[in-house]
């Protein structure tokens, strides 16, 4: 990631400020505020605003439980209870806003999370920067032979080199042609006074899907946890997972009790079907259950054995 000098200055200026507020304030997140956390080769996330903290979740839960419960629960236990039982509305009482720079193909996955607010850099109004995502060699994975959605071994040698060459050359050439169609040079000056230049909203269609874009993205903590549970998961594409993992660190700083509950009851948890639970109960009674006798399909059996840390 290379922030421009202008961007670095803006961050320094924002961090040089400071005002007094009566709002809930989280020093650990203030320490991160505005700072860009690098993701992939040119991307970043940075927290630019937030509302609420662990106590705001507790406060919202308690208005729903009434005054009587104040003494009965302490905050950590209450938050864990809410997470375990999927009482989601108290987590909606916290809100966070990120500034994110990300490749367009990642943005296309990200935007599927609808309960959020977005303002994206517009390539109808403005010219996009010359920045493309090129995977690091260790992320240049082959198609999985087993799983239509997954990645297999890492490409090596001539095949890897050829892929990187194609990705680099095609992105660069298409960007050059983008500027040529716009009739602009790299500094945004007109190239050829005799030409009109293609409309920006049209020229952009020549760019490749690894071109970087950026946006402000704001969501509440419940929906952020839903996003993270899907995108920090091992089945998520590596590139969006890299963003989710950087965001997890900001959530840990912001709402440490909620984060811990999320980690235990969502990230590290597993849902067992009625049939799977029945198998576990039989096993705990000492019965040797086979897949055939389990009532589970082969695929479900394999998933269960993996969860239980057993050989299939």
Closest by Cα among 239, 261, 247 to 218: 247
* Cβ atoms of residues 42 and 3 within 8 Å: no
- Of residues 166 through 195, those in contact with its own copies by CB under 8 A are 166-167, 170-171, 173-174, 177, 180-182, 188, 195
* Helix (H) / strand (E) containing 7: helix 5-16
* Residue window 84-123: x/- pattern of binding to its own copies, with contact defined by CB under 8 A: x----xx-xx-x-x-----xxx-xx--xx-xx-xxxxxx-
Contact 50, 219 (CB under 8 A): no
Residue from 50, 227, 243, 254 that binds its own copies (CB under 8 A)?
50
Minimum distance, C-beta of residue 25 to its own copies, in the bound complex (Å) = 4
- List 80, 200, 231, 241, catalytic entry: 231
9 binds its own copies, rule: CB under 8 A: no
**x-marked contacts with its own copies along 273-292 as a string, rule CB under 8 A:** xxxxx--xx-xx--------
For position 250 contacting its own copies by CB under 8 A, the verdict is: no
> Rounded to the nearest whole angstrom, what is the least distance from the CB of residue 197 to its own copies in the complex?
5
Which H/E stretch holds residue 38?
strand 37-39
> Least separation, in Å, of the C-beta of 1 and its own copies?
17
For residue 137, what is the DSSP state? G
Q: Is residue 146 a contact residue for its own copies (CB under 8 A)?
A: no
Q: Of the candidates 311, 281, 274, which has an alpha carbon nearest to the alpha carbon of residue 296? A: 274
Q: What is the DSSP string of 94-130?
A: -EEEEEEEEEHHHHHHHTT--SSEEEEPPTTTSPPPS
In 3D space, the residue among 215, 7, 11, 225 whose CA is nearest the CA of residue 100 turns out to be 215
Q: Closest CB to its own copies among 233 and 249?
A: 233
CB atoms < 10 A from the CB of 57, how many?
27
Out of 1, 33, 41, 252, the only residue in the binding site for its own copies (CB under 8 A) is: 33
Which span sits near its own copies by CB under 8 A: 43-51, 241-249, 251-259?
Answer: 43-51
Strand-pair partners of 47 = 98
Q: Is 204 in the site for its own copies (CB under 8 A)?
A: yes
Question: Which of 111, 99, 109 has its CA nearest to residue 39?
Answer: 99
163 binds its own copies (CB under 8 A): yes
231 is catalytic: yes
Q: Looking at 22-30, 36-44, 243-251, which segment touches its own copies (CB under 8 A)? A: 22-30
**Residues with catalytic annotation?**
231
């Amino acid at each position: 990631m290379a922030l421009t000098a202008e961007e670095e200055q803006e961050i320094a200026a924002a961090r040089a400020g400071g005002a007094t507020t009566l709002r809930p304030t989280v020093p650990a997140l203030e320490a991160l505020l505005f700072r860009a956390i690098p993701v992939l080769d040119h991307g970043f996330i940075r927290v630019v605003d937030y509302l609420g903290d662990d106590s705001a979740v507790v406060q919202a839960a308690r208005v729903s439980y009434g005054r009587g419960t104040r003494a009965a629960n302490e905050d950590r236990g209450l938050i864990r209870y809410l997470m375990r039982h999927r009482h989601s509305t108290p987590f909606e009482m916290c809100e966070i806003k990120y500034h994110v720079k990300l490749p367009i193909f990642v943005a296309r996955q990200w935007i599927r999370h609808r309960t959020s607010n977005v303002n994206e850099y517009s390539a109808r109004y403005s010219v996009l920067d010359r920045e493309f995502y090129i995977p690091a060699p260790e992320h240049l994975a082959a198609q999985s032979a087993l799983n239509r959605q997954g990645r297999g071994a890492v490409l090596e040698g001539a095949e890897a080199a050829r892929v990187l060459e194609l990705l680099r050359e095609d992105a660069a050439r298409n960007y050059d042609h983008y500027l040529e169609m716009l009739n602009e040079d790299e500094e945004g000056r007109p190239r050829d006074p005799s030409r009109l230049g293609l409309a920006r909203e049209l020229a952009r269609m020549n760019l490749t899907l690894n071109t970087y874009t950026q946006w402000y993205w704001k969501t509440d903590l419940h929906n952020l946890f839903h996003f993270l549970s899907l995108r920090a998961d091992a089945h998520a594409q590596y590139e969006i997972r890299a963003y989710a993992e950087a965001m997890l660190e900001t959530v840990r700083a912001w709402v440490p009790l909620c984060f811990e509950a999320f980690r235990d009851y969502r990230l590290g948890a597993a849902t067992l079907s009625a049939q799977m639970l029945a198998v576990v109960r039989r096993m705990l009674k000492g019965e040797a259950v086979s897949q055939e006798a389990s009532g589970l399909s082969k695929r479900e059996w394999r998933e269960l054995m993996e969860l239980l840390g057993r050989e299939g």
